[in-house]
Amino acid sequence: MTMTVCMACPSEPVSGPGDDRYFVTGVGSVVAMYQELLEVAKADILAYLHNDVEIYDPDWPERVLAEFSDPSVGLIGFGGALRHGSPDLYRSPYRLQNLARYGYLSNTTDAEQHGQRFTGACDVAVLDGFALIVRRVILERAWHQDGMKQWAGWPVHKLIFHNYDYWLCGVARRQGYRIRMVGVSCLHKGGQTSTKPAYQDWLRERGLTDEQTHADAHRWLWDEMRDVLPWEVRA
Amino acid sequence: MKPTPILFLGDSPDLQTGLGRISRDLAVRVSSLPEFRVGFLGRGGCGSSQLPFHQYTFDERWDWGEQHLERVWREFSKGDSGILMTIWDPVRLHWLVDPRPEAFDQQTFSFLRRPPFRRWGYFPVDATGPGDRLTGLAVAAVRGFNRRLAYTPWGASILSGSLGTEVDWLPHGYDPASFSPRERAPGRMTLGIHAHDILIGCVMTNQTRKDWGLAFAAVADLRSKIQNLRFWVHVDAMVRAWSIYALIQDFGLADVVRVTMSETKNDVELSYLYSACDLTILPSLGEGFGYPIVESLACGVPVIHGDYGGGACLLRNDDDLLVRPVSYRLDGPYNLLRPVFEPADWSACIQKVLAESSWRDPERAVGIVEHLQWPRLWEGCWKKWFLEGLK
């Protein structure tokens, strides 16, 4: 089993690549960059990490790969929630808030601000996008069509920046895989992309706003994932 | 895996009643699941070759199927255990969970006492009772079911309070191919209504619980306030619990009212008539769900309803569409609490909604119910509910 670290750096370039790492730099859609990384990285396991994550556990690759030794595990992250979506999600009128996640666990430096600190490993319903480590085959089985164009991988035609984590978790569930959260000690700075002027300008040039892409992404997810939402796992 | 037999029991799926429609919609969709083999024991009607499941029917004079269930189950199940899913008021089903020996022969009595099926119930609750509980007969019936489901959160709260245990709920759906916003002109032409007329619609069956008297009193009150008022009445019988003729005459509304009969319009035609309206009203005294509410909104037309029962749940976030009761009274043999309304309150509510320009955009009304479109609701809710029941 091989693993490649894939990092999209939408607002500023970083150094690299190393032997087992791929980077895409530039300003634009994170999801499109993730697709580019899928197409160049050849490993069985792809570790999509935000460029503002600092990992303090030196043995995190071993912890993650140990989880993947179980073939039922398809997707792993460093922060996840036990429930995704309200029970009212599809029986009541659409509300963005009904797509919220509940029971968030992580081992980030500020874990208590977002939920509960958890240093072990457990099944979760959904992961936060700052760390998504996925079996390549899950993405290769996710087919999309936009007009005459067909491809496997990330939904670059529907998502730009928001909700790609929710989408990937839904796809993993749809394919029958379990999702695991591993309590790797790390720092996620956050707010390093969507609030940056370069990204805002990129959106503005395309007649978009971050608020609108956020709203559109949720609405699309609500429509797209009704077979695997809401979802809950037992603690 | 061998499919599990599931026999629906309710109004025949070929009938155009609300319960018939609900049963049909669910049974058709369950038929698409390889995990189930679907049959239907329906009251009234004669069945339809267009439906993808086997149907057994019995005449309405035979009550609620108690004399037919054993024979039908044995024929349908082919000896397998399975599921009986009822789509009826619980007071109609007491015999199913607590049969009286004097009412049945020994074989049927034994069958009902130890049935080879699990009982799943989808229960309409259109009224509560004293202490916000259903009457004892209904509670005893619901208690005998293995799985219980209400139509609305209101119904679920009444059932939960009556049983002392949590009851879940799922709404019905509608077919967007039938009910969607249409051009106003064709429907108005059908009714002989001018483009500048203000058209209020009311789609209700003719039964005691549907307060046609209130509808006419409210429209009569509006007549002096709206010059070019027209009132479209869509009903299944002119004389039954109410005489529509007498109401038209006594309120002096002959020049205002346009009547269509239920059996003359299919769903698409009905959607054109809904779409021709400026708004519709549903002045019933409690709805389990309230299909005319959903249909009107799906056609892009706001609907005004009383703030009581399951129907009000759909309009909870659009408070200006709900009319508050001024009092309550008990009604009928099952001690059902019914609201009492003041016609002037309905008249005032209608005027307020007519004056609100945002309702002229059909998308506002459609947005309230678009989650109930069957393709969405089946995948997101009902399919999961049926499959979870097999675990």
- A90/B171 CB distance under 8 A: no
Task: Give the count of domains, chain A.
Answer: 1
- ipTM summary value: 0.86
Find out whether B361 and B297 touch, Cβ atoms under 8 Å: no
pLDDT tens, position by position, A50-85: 888 899 998 999 999 999 999 999 999 999 999 999
| The predicted structure's pLDDT at residue B127 | 94
- Nearest Cα neighbor of A178 from A102, A123, A122 is A123
Q: Which of A90, A93, A94 is opposite residue B381, by nearest beta carbon? A: A90
Find out whether B311 and B296 touch, Cβ atoms under 8 Å: no
Q: Which of B171, B370, B379 is opposite residue A227, by nearest beta carbon? A: B379
Average pLDDT, chain A: 90
User: In this model, does residue A16 exceed pLDDT 50?
Assistant: no
- Shortest Cα distance, chain A CAs vs residue B379, angstroms: 6
| The predicted structure's pLDDT at residue A20 | 63
Task: Categorize the per-residue pLDDT at A200 as very low, low, confident or very high, splitting at 50, 70 and 90.
Answer: confident
Q: Which amino acid is at B72?
A: V
Task: Categorize the per-residue pLDDT at A14 as very low, low, confident or very high, splitting at 50, 70 and 90.
Answer: very low
Q: What is the CATH number of the domain that holds A83?
A: 3.90.550
Instruction: Note whether A226 contacts B: Cβ–Cβ < 8 A.
Output: yes
Residue B264: which residues within 8 A CB-CB, separation 6 or more?
Answer: none
Question: Burial letters for A5-42: b for 16+ Cβ neighbours within 10 Å, e otherwise?
Answer: bbbbbbbeeeeeeeeeebbbebbbbbbbbbbbbbeebe
Residue B5: which residues within 8 A CB-CB, separation 6 or more?
Answer: B36, B37, B39, B76, B77, B78, B80, B82, B83, B117
Mutation site, A91, A96, A98, A173, interface B, largest B CB count within 10 A: A91
Give the neighbor-by-neighbor strand order of the sheet with A3-9. A21-25, A3-9, A45-49, A131-135, A73-77, A178-182, A121-123
Q: Which CATH class is domain B4-172+374-388?
A: alpha beta
pLDDT tens, position by position, B76-110: 999 999 999 999 999 999 999 999 999 999 999 99
Q: Please report, in tens digits, the pLDDT of each residue of chain B (391 residues total).
A: 899 999 999 999 998 888 899 999 999 999 999 999 999 999 998 999 999 999 999 998 878 999 999 999 999 999 999 999 999 999 999 999 999 999 999 999 999 999 999 999 999 999 999 999 999 999 999 999 999 999 999 999 999 999 999 999 999 999 999 999 999 999 999 999 999 999 999 999 999 999 999 999 999 999 999 999 999 999 999 999 999 999 999 999 999 999 999 989 999 999 999 999 999 999 999 999 999 999 999 999 999 999 999 999 999 877 799 999 999 999 988 899 999 999 999 999 999 999 999 999 999 999 999 999 999 999 999 999 999 999 9
Find out whether A121 and A67 touch, Cβ atoms under 8 Å: yes
User: In this model, does residue A13 exceed pLDDT 60?
Assistant: no
Q: Which of A92, A227, A229 is opposite residue B371, by nearest beta carbon? A: A92
| The predicted structure's pLDDT at residue A105 | 97
User: In this model, does residue A22 exceed pLDDT 90?
Assistant: no
Mutation site, B371, B382, B383, B387, interface A, largest A CB count within 10 A: B371
All CATH 3.40.50.2000 domain ranges of chain B, comma separated, are 184-371
| The predicted structure's pLDDT at residue B340 | 97
Q: Minimal Cα distance from A223: which residue of B?
A: B376
- Nearest Cα neighbor of B130 from B341, B331, B340 is B331
CA angle A156, B372, B291 (to 5 degrees): 165
On chain A, the residues whose CB falls within 8 A of the CB of B383 are 227
pLDDT tens, position by position, A105-143: 999 999 999 999 999 999 999 999 999 999 999 999 999
Q: Which sign does the torsion angle of CA B275, B277, B278, B282 carry?
A: negative
By residue range, what is the domain housing residue A103?
A: 3-232
Find out whether B198 and B206 touch, Cβ atoms under 8 Å: no
pLDDT tens, position by position, B293-321: 999 999 999 999 999 999 999 998 777 99
- A90/B169 CB distance under 8 A: no
On chain A, the residues whose CB falls within 8 A of the CB of B369 are 93
Gap between the Cα atoms of A220 and B70, Å rounded: 48
The architecture that CATH gives domain B184-371 is 3-Layer(aba) Sandwich (3.40)
Instruction: Note whether A149 contacts B: Cβ–Cβ < 8 A.
Output: no
All CATH 3.40.50.11930 domain ranges of chain B, comma separated, are 4-172+374-388
- Nearest Cα neighbor of B301 from B275, B323, B271 is B275
Instruction: Note whether A89 contacts B: Cβ–Cβ < 8 A.
Output: yes
Q: Which of A92, A93, A227 is opposite residue B367, by nearest beta carbon? A: A93
Instruction: Note whether A49 contacts B: Cβ–Cβ < 8 A.
Output: no
- A223/B376 CB distance under 8 A: yes
Q: Minimal Cα distance from A222: which residue of B?
A: B380
Gap between the Cα atoms of B4 and B80, Å rounded: 8
Find out whether B33 and B16 touch, Cβ atoms under 8 Å: no
